[in-house]
Amino acid sequence: MTEPTDLIQALRGIVGQAHVLTRDDPCTDLAAWEQDWRKRVRGKALAVVRPGSTAEVAAVVRACAGAGTAIVPQGGNTGLVVGSTPDGSGTQVVLSLTRLNQVRAIDGANLTMTVEAGCILQTLQETAEKAGYLFPLSLAAEGSCTIGGNLGTNAGGTQVVRYGNARELCLGLEVVTAQGDIWEGLSGLRKDNTGYDLRDLFIGSEGTLGVITAATLKLYPLPAATLTAWAAVPSLAQAVALLGLAHQRLGAGLTGFEVMGQFALGLVAQHYPQLRVPLYQDTPYCVLLENSDNEGEDHARARFESLLETAMEEGCVTDAVVAENLAQAHQLWHVRESIPLAQAEEGLNIKHDISIAVSRIPAFCAETDARLQQDIPGVRLVNFGHLGDGNLHYNVQAPAGGDAAAFLRDFEERVNTLVYDQVHAFGGSISAEHGVGELKASKLPHYKSPVALQMMAAIKQALDPKGIMNPGRVLA
């Protein structure tokens, strides 16, 4: 077994002295790599290593594998399930991919873009747009998350209803295996029926099988017009009815459909009054819709207004506003994206990222809301998310005026069990887009098929027999 000091010297020889960070240097603060985004966990790394190429990643993995040292791959460190921070042992190497940030190629005829794992999502969106294309993956952390992390967790976001999760947007990968070999899978083919789909195996594996170093992603033509509407709905059941109507009237033009509960919007109004939240005070839920049109703004607006008129006639919508310009649309989306920030301002909370068949969401919320209120009188529910694809962020806040830290300490396990049991009873998933990480790894055996877990463990053993890739994540 290689001594830690020998391994660190070897790593410095691979990536350079400046790109191996340790706490031995009094000027180096490793908090940005050792602490998770929600600041709930602070680990301790043996070193933070920042390779600048795929070849360097492979050499680092080979050195760590030879030393029997665990590796924690990390992108923007914006995850919510403690999946990319080291444990407290001081023996794990954090492999930061942020220096791998090049756009290698844009193929307009193939409608693809090949990029490195450390590229920031927003940069990819802007690069695609400058070239005249759309890369539709969009989420609140897009200014700091990286595409490698997005693929590692199979990120979702606000446009899944039209374009799918990160998995559906990826045509190929370049991966460094747990042995330090490089799999070149960046062909960009839409048809390749030559065996097991290795690409889909690594997407969503959260760095437990290998290290994603690059990807070939799908591009789309830019829409001629994109319009945003904000609608007040009298119930979740009517929000689901509105979704069905929007599918019928807009078809593939429906690119976003977000639901937001009154209390969630009230937190935004309370903590960010400058945002001017519309229509929320007199309705239990509001919906944010996005319509992308290939013909033009007049056509898009006519279809949107026709949809909303019909929805009002059928009782799905009680009031609505359509953004008149891009600035107003950004303002409405900013309100939606500010809900997690407003909830954090309100205090510590219990987060859930769940998915349930859209048709069953109203019944799930009615039943689970009632059970939580009965179990913890005064508990407040911050319910919002991507209703268009059945993904809710069903979060639980302490009763007003209570001690948020004490609430988290005393009730988190109880609340999680209640919510997850309900999700399971309704045939849903306890993780829709955030991943499993460390936070939910111990929960999977209670809610996932034993056969599925056996197959997952067999895959892990086959691809990472030494167990050095992000140990303790996904599979406890």
Is 1 a residue whose pLDDT tops 60? Answer: no
pLDDT of residue 11: 97
CB 221 within 8 A of CB 299: no
Q: Which tokens belong to 58? A: 């492979």
Q: Which CATH class is domain 225-340?
A: alpha beta
Whether domain 4-96 has CATH 3.40.50.300: no
- Give a three-class secondary structure readout of 95-113: EECCCCCCEEEEECCCCEE
**DSSP run (H or E) holding 12:** helix 4-15
Share of the chain above pLDDT 70, in %: 99
pLDDT of residue 2: 65
Q: What is the mean pLDDT of residues 162-175?
A: 96
CB 103 within 8 A of CB 217: no
pLDDT-based confidence at residue 24 (cuts at 50, 70, 90)? confident
Would 103-221 and 347-425 be classified into the same CATH topology?
A: no
How many angstroms separate the CA atoms of 409 and 272, rounded?
28
Q: What is the mean pLDDT of residues 283-289?
A: 97
pLDDT of residue 81: 87
Q: Where are the domains of the chain?
A: 4-96, 103-221, 225-340, 347-425
Helix axis angle for 339-346 and 262-271, nearest 10°, is 70
Residue 71 has φ and ψ, to the nearest 5°, of: -120, 135
pLDDT-based confidence at residue 141 (cuts at 50, 70, 90)? confident
Is 25 a residue whose pLDDT tops 80? Answer: no
Q: Which CATH class is domain 103-221?
A: alpha beta
How many angstroms separate the CA atoms of 84 and 474, rounded?
11
Q: Which CATH class is domain 347-425?
A: alpha beta
CB 327 within 8 A of CB 225: no
Residue 258 has φ and ψ, to the nearest 5°, of: -110, 140
Separation of CA 447 from chain center: 21
pLDDT tens column, 213-255: 999 999 999 999 999 999 999 999 999 999 999 999 999 999 9
pLDDT tens column, 334-362: 999 999 999 989 988 899 999 999 999 99
Q: What is the mean pLDDT of residues 134-143?
A: 92
Q: Which tokens belong to 377? A: 């009188």
State the average pLDDT for the chain: 94
pTM strictly above 0.75: yes
pLDDT of residue 171: 97
CA distances from 156 to 11, 50, 227, 375 (A): 34, 27, 21, 32
pLDDT-based confidence at residue 4 (cuts at 50, 70, 90)? confident
pLDDT of residue 318: 97
Is 384 a residue whose pLDDT tops 60? Answer: yes
CB 77 within 8 A of CB 68: no
Classify the C-alpha dihedral 274-280-286-290 as positive or negative.
negative
Q: Which tokens belong to 233? A: 């709905």
Q: How many CB atoms lie within 10 A of CB 456?
A: 18
pLDDT tens column, 34-85: 988 888 889 999 999 999 999 999 999 999 999 999 999 999 998 888 889 9
pLDDT tens column, 414-444: 999 999 999 999 999 999 999 999 989 999 9
Closest CA to 165 of 204, 216, 128: 204
Is 476 a residue whose pLDDT tops 80? Answer: no
Amino acid at site 281? Q
pLDDT of residue 404: 87
Name the DSSP letter for residue 170: E
Q: Which carries the bigger pLDDT value, residue 400 or residue 238?
A: 238
CB 80 within 8 A of CB 150: no
Which residues, at least 6 apart from 289, have a Cβ–Cβ distance to it below 8 Å?
228, 229, 230, 231, 246, 254, 256, 257, 258, 304
